[in-house]
């Protein structure tokens, strides 16, 4: 497609979307605006945008597509600013915010003026921020939730999907309220829990510094998202307050029940607590990059020395086996580490296991 695309907020998500659009629609002109001039400079340096905008007001009136990828609280003010401008009649305005009910209400000022607003939320990302962390493949196979108002025509929604087709994401239409409930459960609430687990460990650490050194493995996995941008998550929580307050009440009840099981030494129910969670977790779809990423992990027990990653990736490269991610979990300090290599398919993982087995005597296992 051809036309002018204005991206407001050139961080992780705005930058990644810019890359996807450029790849799929090379003739489109990508213009970026960010309140932080550094982000615009980096975006230009990395070739993420064609040019930096002097102001929203100047560029928005000439744009065919406007994507707002700022923190959700700011998105509301930008929508208000856009509603005061003489935008093109056929322009589509969309956003990427992690909440939708508040933003959709704000956007009625655009629909009242006949401007097409379609709320959007690519359900993939990372705990990193900023355009330097942007990636073209960030949204591949992820769900991309859209919350079009009924006044927006099917043709317009399809036009937006075409603009965004380079994300290789799976589009799904939901209502803004349904969106906030679903993401409250699978995304926003887990961030609260991850942060509170870290707070608990940090309090324990005050009396026992060994906590810091031992907090590896499972603790690190479950709390990775606690390293996310605090400002972004403050804004998300404040916009999805009601859903999260209700989920917190359910959680408190659940913790009360678990405490009771411990107080009463109820072996059977404690087993059942873990067993039913395992069954539900194991049954979650892994073919979609939704709540659980669709990666097939191979665990390799390796000596923890600097060249080990290149050694293993070298063997895999010779046999042309692609990997999607690689990392070391240091479970036994200084001696051994577990190298976790992720593959896109079970077949790639099986080939990799055979290949590494041929070249080394490292122990390997897979997580089903």
Ligand X SMILES: NC(=O)C1=CN([C@@H]2O[C@H](COP(=O)(O)OP(=O)(O)OC[C@H]3O[C@@H](n4cnc5c(N)ncnc54)[C@H](O)[C@@H]3O)[C@@H](O)[C@H]2O)C=CC1
Residues that bind ligand ENO (CB under 6 A): 98, 123-127, 187, 225
Among positions 217-236, residues that touch ligand X (CB under 6 A) are: 229, 232, 236
Residue 123: CB minimum distance to ligand ENO, A: 5
Asked whether position 45 contacts ligand X by CB under 6 A, the answer is no
Asked whether position 3 contacts ligand X by CB under 6 A, the answer is no
User: Rounded to whole angstroms, how far apart are CA atoms 235 and 3?
Assistant: 32
Out of 5, 7, 10, 43, point to the residue binding ligand X (CB under 6 A).
10
Taking CB within 5 to 8 Å according to partner kind, which of ligand X, ligand ENO, none is near residue 96? Answer: ligand X
Q: Which is nearer to ligand X, 39 or 147 (CB)?
A: 39
| 3-class DSSP assignment, residue 124 | coil
Q: In terms of Cα–Cα distance, which of 339, 348, 259, 276 is closest to 305?
A: 339
The two tokens of residue 119 are 């709320």
Taking CB within 5 to 8 Å according to partner kind, which of ligand X, ligand ENO, none is near residue 35? Answer: ligand X
Contacts of 132 (CB under 8 A, 6+ apart): 42, 46
Out of 28, 53, 72, 145, point to the residue binding ligand X (CB under 6 A).
72
Out of 130, 290, 293, 357, point to the residue binding ligand X (CB under 6 A).
130
Asked whether position 344 contacts ligand X by CB under 6 A, the answer is no
Q: For residue 164, give the H/E element and its range.
A: none
Out of 32, 76, 120, 125, point to the residue binding ligand X (CB under 6 A).
125
Asked whether position 74 contacts ligand X by CB under 6 A, the answer is yes
Sheet strand arrangement including 296-303: 325-332, 336-343, 296-303, 364-366
User: Rounded to whole angstroms, how far apart are CA atoms 81 and 215?
Assistant: 46
Look-up of token digits 């939704």: 290
Asked if residue 167 lies in contact with residue 17, where contact means CB atoms within 8 angstroms, the answer is: yes
Quick one: which segment of 57-65, 120-128, 161-169, 329-337 binds ligand X (CB under 6 A)?
Answer: 120-128
Out of 120, 122, 148, 166, point to the residue binding ligand X (CB under 6 A).
122
| DSSP codes of every residue in 71-86 | -HHHHHHHHHHHHTS-
């Amino acid at each position: 497609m051809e036309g002018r695309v204005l991206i407001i907020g050139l961080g992780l998500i705005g930058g990644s979307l810019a890359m996807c659009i450029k790849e799929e629609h090379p003739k489109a002109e990508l213009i970026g605006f960010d309140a932080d001039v550094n982000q615009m400079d980096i975006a230009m340096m990395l070739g993420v945008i064609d040019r930096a905008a002097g102001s929203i007001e100047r560029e928005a009136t000439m744009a065919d597509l406007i994507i707002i990828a700022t923190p959700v609280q700011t998105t509301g003010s930008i929508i208000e600013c856009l509603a005061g401008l003489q935008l093109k009649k056929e322009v589509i305005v969309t956003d990427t915010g992690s909440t939708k009910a508040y933003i959709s209400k704000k956007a009625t000022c655009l629909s009242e003026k006949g401007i097409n607003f379609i709320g959007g939320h690519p359900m993939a990302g990372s705990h990193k921020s900023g355009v330097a962390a942007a990636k073209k493949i960030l949204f591949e196979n992820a769900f991309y939730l859209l919350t079009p108002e009924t006044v927006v025509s099917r043709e317009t929604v399809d036009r937006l999907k075409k603009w965004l087709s380079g994300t290789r994401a799976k589009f799904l239409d939901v209502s803004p309220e349904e969106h906030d409930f679903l993401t409250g459960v699978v995304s926003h609430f887990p961030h609260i829990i991850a942060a509170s687990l870290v707070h608990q460990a940090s309090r324990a650490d005050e009396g026992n510094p060994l906590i810091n050194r031992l907090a590896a493995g499972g603790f690190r996995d479950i709390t990775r998202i606690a390293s996310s941008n605090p400002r972004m998550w403050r804004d998300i929580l404040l916009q999805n307050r009601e859903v999260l307050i209700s989920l917190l009440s359910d959680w408190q009840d659940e913790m009360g029940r678990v405490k009771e099981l411990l107080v009463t030494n109820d072996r059977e129910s404690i087993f059942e607590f873990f067993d039913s969670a395992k069954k539900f977790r194991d049954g979650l779809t892994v073919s979609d990059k939704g709540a659980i990423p669709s990666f097939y992990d191979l665990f390799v027990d390796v000596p923890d020395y600097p060249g080990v990653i290149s050694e293993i990736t070298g063997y895999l490269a010779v046999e042309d086996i692609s990997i999607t991610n690689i990392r070391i979990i240091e479970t036994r300090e200084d001696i051994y580490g577990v190298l976790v290599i992720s593959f896109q398919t079970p077949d790639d993982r099986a080939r990799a296991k055979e290949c590494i087995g041929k070249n080394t005597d490292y122990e390997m296992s897979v997580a089903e």
